A and B are shown apart, each in its own frame.
Chain A
Amino acid sequence: MGSINMSRVRRELARLMVLIACLCAGATSWALEVPTLSGRIVDLARVLPAEVASDLMHELEAHEAKTGNQVAVLTLPSLEGEPLEEFSHRVATTWKLGQKGTDNGALLLVAMKERRIRIEVGYGLEGTLTDARSAQIIRNHIVPHFRAGDLQGGIATGVRAILGTIEGTYSVTESPPARVSTADEPSAFEYVIVGVIVGLMAGLLLSNGHQRARALLGSVLTFLVAQFASILLGLAAAGVTALLLWLILQANRGGGRRGGWRPSDLAWGPGGGFGGPFGSDAGFSGGGGGFGGGGASGSW
């Protein structure tokens, strides 16, 4: 009896595993994934010879150094059924091309199998690299080369036309690359500092009350604020507040050390690096620019 049940359980388990596997496979194949931003030129369709790609990359780099505009190129073997405009917008917003605030990014996307081209333009460049101008670049600069089978020439001419169009829009002095912090939210550090201040104020301003209660209240308040950063940092900040409050209150009383603070409480001091927005800057990364669907599409 028991063995029958066991085999049934096993079968059900196996079935469940298959179901989960199917669901996972379905989830991953549901949409074409946004490729990782490995550099200014992401040549997944392998149409650009190394020297052409590196020439273009240097041009794009020099252009960004001068103007802050971030332009990237993506070639794809296929869109795998994804609508061109939707995918291109998804790539541009994921890569966050352009600087935060000026939104001066642009993307040239080429899908080989569908024979489609799109120039996706960030908010900040819509005024110069207009839809009409983007369409002209595709029609007059890129498509003739592509039709003649010269893919690298088409991409290079297209990129140069884009750079020429957006040349004078921004200069680096008016849009300093604000790359350090791309997050709008207050950082972990800010939460901790604000939390400690709030806790200390509350603990000190309460005119009466048991010392220990005041220290406790202060540290609880600190924790409530600082836990937005992380639970651990919240606890650490609460410890710091409690310790500081205790020391201050003790000092006000003029010594007379009571209560049971153990040295181990010091271990809750500010520790543990928070590695949030300070990522390594090795390689190219988007500056936080936004895209609203401007640009043009074409085919060859």
Chain B
Amino acid sequence: MKSLKEKLKGRLSKIDEKAGKSLPPQNISRRNFFKKMGAGIATYVVMTDVLAFQVLGSDAPLKDEDQLASWIHLSDSGKVTVFTGKVEVGQNIRTSLSQVVAEELSISIEHIELIMGDTQQTPYDRGTYGSLTTPQMAPILRKAAANLREMLLQQAKEEWKLGKVKLELEKGFVHHPSNGGKLSYGDLAKGKQWMKKMDEEVPTVDPEAWKTAGTSVRKVNGIDFITGTHRYVSDMSVPGMVYGKILRPPYIGAKLKSVNTGKAAGLDGVEIVQQDDFVGVTAKDSRTASVALAMIEAEWETSPQLSGKDLFSHLVNTGKDQTAIGNALESEYLISDKQLDQEFLVQYIAHVPLEPRAGLALWKGDELQVWTGTQRPFGVQEELQRTFDLPKEKIRVYMPDTGSGYGGKHTGEAGIEAARLAKAVKNPVKVNWTREEEFKWAYFRPAGVIRVKASTQNGHLSAWDFHNFNSGGAAIEAPYEIKEKNHQYHSADSPLRQGSYRALASTANVFAIEAQINDLASANQKDPLEFRLTHLKNERLSNLIKITADAFGWGKRIKRTNIGFGMACGAAKGGYVATFAEVKVDPDTRELEILKVTGGFECGAILNPRHLKSQVVGCMLQGLGGALFESVEFDNGDIKNASLSSYRVPRFKDTPKIEVILVDRKDLPSSGAGEAPIIGIAPAIRNAIFDATGVKINQLPMLPNGLVPVNS
């Protein structure tokens, strides 16, 4: 039987009517493409191309088979335009993807423009999440740019009527091999309408020879951000635009019983929109809209909701697929000389993107344009399609570079609300969520309960039974060699709306795994680093641990009163993490001081060292919040700390001495880095506190009242 890949290749060859001059399979026709883009040379990639296929794996739905993944256009002015459905939320992928393209074309990144996350202009993309942009989109763009380079060389040979010679490219020019002449890329593209599908076989630049990729190129358009001229969605306006606000229930689960909008409607310029439970107002400024909203008299029918104090028992009680432990594992556990059975509790936390959700909607007849900050513009397009029963072609969703997401902006609430209001009031509407709305009506990182029962026999891991209730299955498998092991994720009934988050469940699972390993090492009077290395078979992880331990000075640490050292390691989303911490616990006040954190990270070939370091630092510091103090408090449907004065996030003063160790593996493909480095910080600190005090803290956040407890 033919493999799926072969089948798809067969289909593509039919589409390629004439080698080198073929048309893309759908979405764009060559004529329309060049009409829009101007004359030039272009190359395109379809999803079925090997690189995309490998990365997407079984995840790739077949309907995407012939879907364009990206295309690159070179204009007769020498400008390179790259189209990708990925979006920029602060990962600085606009920069790293530009570097990849610049490298293959031997140009500087100023000549490159990335058009991102625009459903009308860019190819379909399922979303910017899962640390997939770097492993998925970067190789595609690299190959596509390499193809464009080959097209330029071919064109130059034709113009110079050269046979089989090797031509050199440099800074936007192709050089003649003998007569000293040169042709600019723009000259080569002049008057052309040449479009070619990407050829897998075209070689790309060896990472060892990278000049632009792999260097610390600065953030593209950085000046626009520091001068305040970049327009995030919340900053945008269009002529005739009004400001919209939505009536929210006072509690989760409350249903609208009755509503009186009379007083609000009397305000100057205010319009009321009411469609069943959807009630909103629009006004010429946001202040008037807020006042009008406050004047609406609504009665709500509340229903009992689960409170925070009952959360963990509820998650375990509603956990699915709870089967009995296997006999082999059970008996191995029972005969082992050291046994440890622990439970770990993980609270809900909020993403708190500094730019709350925002959406701006504009109707032109039955055509809808929505600007919104989302990690899934094409997903929002589908949501709009369902809401308004429109064909997709009539809906454009556009996402300018947005004020962060961290996994918290997979949805399109504000854009959909703006579109509903705009349709009703027949004017463009902008809906900017308040911080309180963002806390109460977005979604949270899942809470969870983790139960792990593990044992050692003669100092070797013998049994391991690991259960995660609700928080998720990411990185659930311990990276250690264990004789008998079992790990299970049990989905459960979540009382609060939950969703994706930076590294998602990896943080909770690695916290439990690394705490358990630490405590088993301690029970065996073994050095936690040695104990790990004995049981680790993953060379990339072991190497990283050793390098990071050296930088931290693990072997030279001197035990002092009230000072502790801890470590943690793990792998997530293709990245390898080793984190070391030194802490001090005041024996009287029980205050924690983090003296030093050293974070090691390895994600294959590094595309931009400075931006990578920034992601690693950002992950570790953001992770401090969930490790130490972040927690969503809720009581009978009421989120009690829905403000930045009551929900604490890491600030300048929380920044410890921090060192980052990056291991550059030019021989390995690059993975994403926006998520994985968050996983090590909580367990490293937890284990350091244990080392300092003997207290085992098995909950996240660890210090909800700011102090280290006296007992475990």
- A, B from the same assembly: no
